[in-house]
Structure 1
């Protein structure tokens, strides 16, 4: 019998409550020496090594790949699960559980992964391609709670599972223990980049769980859990820490650091604890960079983000539909001043959603030019008494500063911008009833796979069907994106993406602001850390780290 979504949500809460109830109320790392150092401070091989790392928000503590995306929970899942492919700091795909990048047939209809041989789950059971087939079927079925089922619309049998008329996707097969194949009804080259990083879960543990109860399965909240990642979840002490221990069966062999404590504290507290030695790895805010660089025994590194900060402009409002208005807004804002003031220069102005090879070099850069902004407004007979409201969730220093600069500089050219700080629930309500004018937000990964831009710009992805919060629609743009995604030849595919980028850049469906760098600071005792611009994946190469106290 299928439960309602409300019933299933209640069961999730109950399951998490059980986990949190058994978690220790005190912090064990504060009661015993787990630093791996002897009395003289030298490294001691007889004691465990423990890494304390910053977690930017408390997690929901439901480690389900099918659950709606949650950044802090994703950090944990990157440690306890593994995927066919990963994304490196250059936002390039690289093999993890797969032995190499997948092969794509000449007609673009078959994607073949060859898996590494001899791998085992953390409980010692063998890992096979059937685990991958099982997991991808869960992700393609909305009855599991998966929010990613739409990604498999071009997989043979995918639409039938999404519609509830079939139980499994016929296009997912395992010809043998180390081969996983995806059969497509039409070419979809972007599918590799959009689904290759799905966290794989164990069929031998979950096979008997009814599909429509998968999102409430105890497995996703229990301790210890079973995974393929370098660490095993042990406990979550509410709002204090997530405790993980190394997985002796991890595919890369011995993991060096024995334990990790992820600590959800504010960035100010994390930075202070970095200075006192209570924290080993922290993502720091740009305004704190000078302070951290002055600390003894601390190393700093950074990487560019894969997404960007922007404001969506609701084109359902008649007074916001003219692209000249949005162009004027871009010319009116001194984005370099914003970057310098809010981020200490640690960001790059953005002029389209596309990145890397999909970004042409002939885009309009919309350099600060308030006279050009006024000229465009006069040309379209803009009403200077028309109020435009910018809604955003306050609390992040760079975004708060961005809002005040937007208010000042747009008002200066004759656009009466009114700021509206809201709570998350309020913003969700405004999105659902389409009542907002503009909303300030950020995120996304558009660096690894250019087709990800489709979800925030296409005519068919207007919210809530997708991430298009501007309700922009350009059929030529959509056609180019779909053609690119079906083109096997890489050079031809990226030429089509660049054509789409020029259309987006000209019509300005959103006010592009900046791509922030993610700044990391860590004790110099931590070796092997490579900074990643994706703040949800600092542990991408954790198996290569050592902690030398």
Structure 2
């Protein structure tokens, strides 16, 4: 009955939202009302590639350390950050030893120990789990509980940046007791665990309706409870709608306290903010809005298991593996118009895969900042990629340059699509546009044909970026063998199916390099290979743009990790 009654309440709230008139009591007192218009699908971050799922799960599940607003490491479950100086990192850089905070318990009252950390590694690295965070544990050969409060991580080779395993909202700790029977092939079947994980964070799940709403309550066993943390005793984490309605709910009507991921025309956002109910907050880190070019054949004529699958390199895309075509597509785009008219302060024109911090940003690709339709046409003509039958569409080896361009449903993204379709038509490329509900597109359902990882299209657009100031965990997304496919539940991270042995060799060098300056040099070289190969077209250096009620205090906007990383410190002004 509890689930049924809550569903009825949710439907009523959704109806009222649609009418644009939430009651004023919905955003008062000790209830924090959060609106992520991309609704939450699952609360186990290891079984999802969607940021909205990881963000929601971060209220419950914590890592050993967060990345702070400046990209710095901030202890969460760890007592401190291991370094060479304090003895936490071995002299040969093959081991890192974490000391856990004393007295931490799970929300069910049982002790949090090093055994839970070891289990989390075993859970994610089980090849049958289909763990979307597997790359965070690359090169780890052993995780050992030295004692209840000490965890030692051993790498197969010197690890110059050992802060990927168990760090950030992408790699939190799972409770061994709860997930012990959910490893390997059983992982996806553990609905109770995946929808209601037990955590050490400030909140617990009370009710979860997938793709709709999560209700959290304060964790009475949270380590900050004695200090009155969290301030809010309940969080209603609502999903659905779109970015514009989410912004309005905070900035104009005041019915919600926080709204995330506001890709909205800057004019509209500024107009909403002028109502005086809330403010827009922005955080730059390492995120880029980009177009990925499928390096495999996505034709619907191909059978399941072959369509958009690498198949050992035997299923290439008919023309998008040709860098001349991808470079022409990039040259045709006016990034300045996109950034100024569609993003405003929330975005800057971008020509690189790695967008920050500055020491890792390549200076070699800035020519993309100037649109060059004439140059793109000349380059295609010179390569013999011409319109031979006069229908306005060029052909490559007999195949018309016609692409299906998909992204999530979002006003800014649809406007971007429309502009790019026009520009591509001016260089002889036909474009069909498709947008997919973001809860589906980012949901990771292996049975859905519409996820960004399945990539049943020629090109697709979305945002992601580095999970910290070091780019290694981002650059791993383009190495051979990391492809999504049927064998891993379509959870591989190399979404465009890019494969280049030169890139892989350079990436391996990066994983073994400890000198910071050389790491930056290698990062720039890897970035430039990706641009040259043409599997990605960077568009916009994106800030995280959200809106917060003027009544909420204590927020530290964070582009490097979850925006909710310090939610236990949020309060409501009296």
Pairwise CA distance, 1:239: 6.0
1:472-498: CA deviation from partner (whole Å, max 9, x where unpaired): 433222211111111223232222222
Q: Could you tell me how far apart the structure 1 residues matched to 2:133 and 2:353 are?
A: 21
- Is the Cα–Cα contact under 8 Å of residues 336 and 349 in structure 2 kept in the other structure? yes
- Equivalent position of 1:7 in the other structure: none
Equivalent residue in structure 2 for 1:53, among 10, 34, 58: 34
Pairwise CA distance, 1:526: 0.6
1:116 aligns with 2:101: yes
The within-5 A match list for 1:7-156 is 20-21=3-4, 23=6, 25-26=8-9, 49-60=30-41, 62-102=42-82, 103-149=88-134, 151-152=136-137, 154-156=139-141
Structure 1 447/337 Cα, relative in aligned 2: closer, same or farther at 3 Å?
Answer: farther
1:370-421: CA deviation from partner (whole Å, max 9, x where unpaired): 2332332233122133233132045212221222211222222x33232232
- Equivalent position of 2:507 in the other structure: 481
SS in 1 for 2:286: coil
The within-5 A match list for 1:253-402 is 253-255=227-229, 256-266=231-241, 267-274=243-250, 275-283=252-260, 284-287=262-265, 288-304=268-284, 306-315=286-295, 316-344=316-344, 346-354=346-354, 355-356=356-357, 357-366=359-368, 367-384=370-387, 385-386=394-395, 387-393=401-407, 395-402=409-416
Total equivalences in the alignment = 501
Structure 1 86/394 Cα, relative in aligned 2: closer, same or farther at 3 Å?
Answer: closer
SS in 1 for 2:164: helix
1:405 aligns with 2:376: no
Q: Could you tell me how far apart the structure 2 residues matched to 1:394 and 1:184 are?
A: 38
Q: Name structure 2 gaps, 5 residues minimum.
A: 14-21, 83-87, 296-315, 388-393, 396-400, 442-447
SS in 2 for 1:26: helix
Q: Could you tell me how far apart the structure 2 residues matched to 1:20 and 1:409 are?
A: 50
- Equivalent position of 1:200 in the other structure: 173
- Is the Cα–Cα contact under 8 Å of residues 254 and 277 in structure 2 kept in the other structure? no
SS in 1 for 2:555: coil
Structure 1 377/446 Cα, relative in aligned 2: closer, same or farther at 3 Å?
Answer: farther
Q: Could you tell me how far apart the structure 1 residues matched to 2:504 and 2:188 are?
A: 33
- Equivalent position of 1:455 in the other structure: 476
Coordinate RMSD, CA, aligned: 3.1
- Is the Cα–Cα contact under 8 Å of residues 293 and 534 in structure 2 kept in the other structure? no
Structure 1 210/450 Cα, relative in aligned 2: closer, same or farther at 3 Å?
Answer: closer
- Is the Cα–Cα contact under 8 Å of residues 407 and 418 in structure 1 kept in the other structure? yes
Q: Could you tell me how far apart the structure 2 residues matched to 1:296 and 1:314 are?
A: 44
- Is the Cα–Cα contact under 8 Å of residues 280 and 546 in structure 2 kept in the other structure? yes
Pairwise CA distance, 1:314: 3.5
TM-score (norm 2): 0.78
SS in 1 for 2:319: helix
Of the structure 1 ranges 334-343 and 467-476, higher mean CA displacement relative to structure 2 is found in 467-476
- Equivalent position of 1:160 in the other structure: none
Q: Could you tell me how far apart the structure 2 residues matched to 1:446 and 1:74 are?
A: 12
- Equivalent position of 1:176 in the other structure: 147
SS in 2 for 1:80: coil
Structure 1 207/22 Cα, relative in aligned 2: closer, same or farther at 3 Å?
Answer: farther
- Is the Cα–Cα contact under 8 Å of residues 248 and 272 in structure 2 kept in the other structure? no
SS in 2 for 1:518: strand
Of the structure 1 ranges 193-202 and 211-220, higher mean CA displacement relative to structure 2 is found in 211-220
Structure 1 394/538 Cα, relative in aligned 2: closer, same or farther at 3 Å?
Answer: closer
- Equivalent position of 2:461 in the other structure: 440
Pairwise CA distance, 1:541: 0.9
1:498 aligns with 2:524: yes
1:246-267: CA deviation from partner (whole Å, max 9, x where unpaired): 2233233431222211111323
Q: Could you tell me how far apart the structure 2 residues matched to 1:390 and 1:210 are?
A: 37
Pairwise CA distance, 1:213: 3.6
SS in 2 for 1:495: helix
SS in 2 for 1:138: helix
Structure 1 149/289 Cα, relative in aligned 2: closer, same or farther at 3 Å?
Answer: closer
Pairwise CA distance, 1:519: 1.8
Structure 1 474/207 Cα, relative in aligned 2: closer, same or farther at 3 Å?
Answer: closer
Structure 1 23/214 Cα, relative in aligned 2: closer, same or farther at 3 Å?
Answer: farther
Q: Could you tell me how far apart the structure 2 residues matched to 1:213 and 1:503 are?
A: 39
Structure 1 324/217 Cα, relative in aligned 2: closer, same or farther at 3 Å?
Answer: closer
Pairwise CA distance, 1:302: 0.9
1:250 aligns with 2:218: no
- Is the Cα–Cα contact under 8 Å of residues 120 and 173 in structure 2 kept in the other structure? yes
- Is the Cα–Cα contact under 8 Å of residues 458 and 468 in structure 1 kept in the other structure? yes
1:523 aligns with 2:549: yes
Pairwise CA distance, 1:454: 3.2
TM-score (norm 1): 0.82
- Is the Cα–Cα contact under 8 Å of residues 362 and 527 in structure 2 kept in the other structure? yes
SS in 1 for 2:44: coil
Of the structure 1 ranges 274-283 and 538-547, higher mean CA displacement relative to structure 2 is found in 274-283
- Is the Cα–Cα contact under 8 Å of residues 135 and 476 in structure 2 kept in the other structure? no
- Equivalent position of 2:429 in the other structure: 416
